[in-house]
């Protein structure tokens, strides 16, 4: 029965023979799909999932859980055919929980059409550490109440489509100063502080009936009494989660290939500890050798009595109940994916989220001579963390601006522009009438900050755009015109262009606290 505790993965646009053989011989909880490993087209994904499900059921096993990280914004696990929603922080800027519910429902319907019945979303972490390297716009806000109401609304939306939502990263990693994909953060919060702030959004989603919660790989000594990751702590994953907060759904680890927990031969000890801590599902990687090592190691742990019926029976009952719940939902047709109604909803979120932070030079709305020349500048998008698919997004700032002005030239710089690039750019734009300068997390990127400051010193009228986290203003504080889009998705950039030319007002509100004085 230990196989029912494993959410595994594989590489390929169709299931490898070894995976199909596993399903014929052994039970399994299910699979996580990844964009770079498994996603081609919606029809391909649906056919692949159908084959997996048919193989499992033919072998006498319950239907499989099929999961993906479809958060919106910077993390779009299921490809470009899906509606490209701006993401959580953009939703936070709208202050509208009904929009969050509608977006959740739309994402759920599109996932369900492809056969995906678990969404590893929404993020419930508070962005209390402004430069948290793995969070940023994945968070709704740094505000407890706003995050709670938006996360609960999104959960209701996702699950209304028959897809289980997954809130993460319990008990809250907003204070993390390092990325747990690479090393283990230590969260220095007292239990009283956690109950007052970080845990309240999670509690709101538990009250809303969320089906799944994902643990975080970070140390929280005030809860665990040690520096072990919360994932491995019974005090966190049973006593706090279930006894104190009353969560009765499924718990799942964050990915087991992350640097915050043990890797290699010793990893099985952490996995056994996680199961004994009360975690239901183990989120595994696609590496075949690792999968077999973990499976064999767990069989040994059961044989040795390190894992007992007490650790398995209730957990597997919960897992099978979730399988029954997701299996009962009707599957939409593929034509729901990227449909007109969902595209309109994405545009609405963008139009209500883009935020004008500063207009000290009274430059906006733009009133340009038709012959004026605009330089549209932005960095090449890249994945800033493994929880990121931004590298798939084509830079489209100039294209959006051209819908309002004919003479717009595009300048795409490296994500970390060199000093030489910056000097060449300064020379190239010296004769332009207006600069529109986008940055992508310049608060974490000194070279982007340098580029923005060099261009501001040219004296050319400049609009500065934070295309991701809003804190970029802190590293080019002399900017007099500053707008936040929270997203590089096309609808966000179109909404930006509309606002710059006054075609519709900027109505978004900053969802985080930041200093605004020059």
Q: How far apart are the first and last CA of the chain?
A: 61
Q: Which residues pair with 186 in a beta bridge?
A: 219
Give the 3-state secondary structure of residue 146.
Answer: helix
CA atoms within 13 A on the CB side of 55: 22
Do 405 and 457 meet the contact criterion of CB atoms below 8 Å apart?
no
Let me know how long the chain is: 518
User: Tokens at residue 220, please?
Assistant: 């929280």
Q: Hunting for tokens 């000093």 — which residue is that?
A: 419
Rounded Cα–Cα distance for residues 207 and 32 (Å): 26
Give the 3-state secondary structure of residue 432.
Answer: coil
Rounded Cα–Cα distance for residues 468 and 138 (Å): 10
Rounded Cα–Cα distance for residues 76 and 391 (Å): 11
My answer on whether omega of the bond before 171 falls inside 30° of 0, hence cis, is: yes
User: Tokens at residue 111, please?
Assistant: 């996932």
**Active-site annotation holds for 129:** no
The active-site residue out of 181, 269, 404, 407 is 181
Q: Which residues of 479-493 are buried (b: 16+ CB within 10 A; e: fewer)?
A: bbbbbbbbbbbbbbb
Between strands 481-484 and 355-359, the pairing is: antiparallel
Q: Which residues pair with 462 in a beta bridge?
A: 435
Residues whose CB is less than 8 angstroms from the CB of residue 152 and which lie 6 or more positions away in sequence, other chains included: 97, 201, 204, 205, 207, 208
User: Tokens at residue 191, please?
Assistant: 């239990």
Nearest Cα neighbor of 418 from 443, 440, 447 is 447
- Number of other CB atoms surrounding residue 254 within 10 Å: 25
User: Tokens at residue 333, please?
Assistant: 């047709």
The active-site residue out of 254, 388, 494, 498 is 254
Do 479 and 417 meet the contact criterion of CB atoms below 8 Å apart?
no
Rounded Cα–Cα distance for residues 125 and 116 (Å): 24
Nearest Cα neighbor of 92 from 125, 69, 68, 132 is 125
Rounded Cα–Cα distance for residues 351 and 348 (Å): 5
- The residues carrying an active-site annotation are 181, 254
């Amino acid at each position: 029965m230990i196989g029912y505790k494993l959410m595994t993965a594989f590489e390929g646009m169709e299931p490898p023979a070894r995976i199909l053989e596993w399903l014929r011989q052994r039970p399994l909880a299910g699979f996580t799909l990844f964009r770079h490993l498994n996603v081609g087209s919606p029809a391909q994904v649906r056919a692949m999932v159908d084959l997996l499900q048919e193989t499992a059921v033919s072998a006498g096993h319950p239907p499989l859980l099929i999961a993906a990280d479809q958060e919106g914004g910077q993390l779009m696990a299921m490809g470009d055919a899906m509606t490209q929603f701006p993401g959580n922080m953009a939703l936070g800027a709208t202050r509208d929980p009904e929009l969050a519910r509608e977006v959740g429902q739309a994402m759920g319907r599109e996932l369900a059409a492809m056969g995906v019945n678990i969404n590893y979303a929404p993020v419930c972490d508070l962005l209390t550490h402004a430069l948290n390297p793995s969070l940023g716009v994945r968070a709704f806000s740094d505000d407890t109440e706003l995050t709670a109401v938006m996360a609960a609304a999104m959960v209701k939306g996702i699950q209304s489509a028959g897809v289980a939502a997954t809130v993460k990263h319990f008990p809250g990693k907003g204070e993390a100063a390092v990325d747990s994909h690479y090393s283990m953060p230590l969260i220095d919060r007292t239990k009283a502080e956690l109950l007052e702030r970080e845990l309240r959004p999670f509690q709101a989603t538990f009250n809303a009936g969320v089906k799944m919660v994902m643990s975080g790989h970070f140390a929280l000594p005030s809860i665990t009494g040690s520096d072990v990751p919360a994932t491995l702590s019974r005090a966190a994953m049973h006593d706090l989660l279930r006894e104190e907060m009353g969560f009765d759904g499924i718990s799942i680890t964050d990915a087991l290939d992350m640097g915050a927990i043990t890797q290699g031969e010793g990893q099985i000890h952490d996995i056994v500890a996680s199961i004994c801590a009360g975690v239901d599902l183990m989120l595994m990687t696609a590496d075949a050798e690792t999968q077999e090592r973990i499976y064999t190691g767990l069989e040994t742990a059961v044989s040795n009595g390190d894992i007992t019926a007490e650790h398995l029976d209730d957990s597997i009952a919960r897992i099978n109940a979730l399988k029954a719940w997701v299996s009962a939902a009707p599957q939409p047709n593929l034509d729901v994916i990227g449909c007109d109604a969902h595209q309109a909803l994405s545009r609405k979120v963008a139009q209500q989220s883009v935020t004008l932070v500063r207009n000290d030079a009274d430059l906006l709305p733009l009133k340009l001579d038709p012959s004026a020349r605009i330089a549209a500048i932005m960095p090449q998008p890249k994945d800033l963390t493994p929880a990121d698919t931004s590298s798939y997004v084509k830079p489209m700032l100039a294209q959006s601006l051209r819908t309002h002005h004919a003479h717009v030239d595009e300048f795409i710089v490296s994500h970390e522009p060199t000093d030489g690039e910056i000097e060449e750019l300064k020379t190239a734009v010296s004769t332009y009438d207006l600069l529109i300068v986008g940055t992508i997390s310049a608060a974490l990127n000194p070279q982007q900050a340098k580029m923005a400051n060099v261009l501001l010193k040219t004296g050319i009228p400049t609009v500065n755009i934070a295309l991701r986290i809003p804190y970029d203003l802190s590293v080019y504080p002399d900017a007099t015109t500053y707008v936040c889009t929270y997203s590089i998705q096309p609808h966000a950039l179109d909404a930006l262009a509309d606002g710059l030319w006054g075609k519709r007002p900027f109505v978004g509100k900053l969802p985080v606290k930041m200093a605004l004085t020059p």
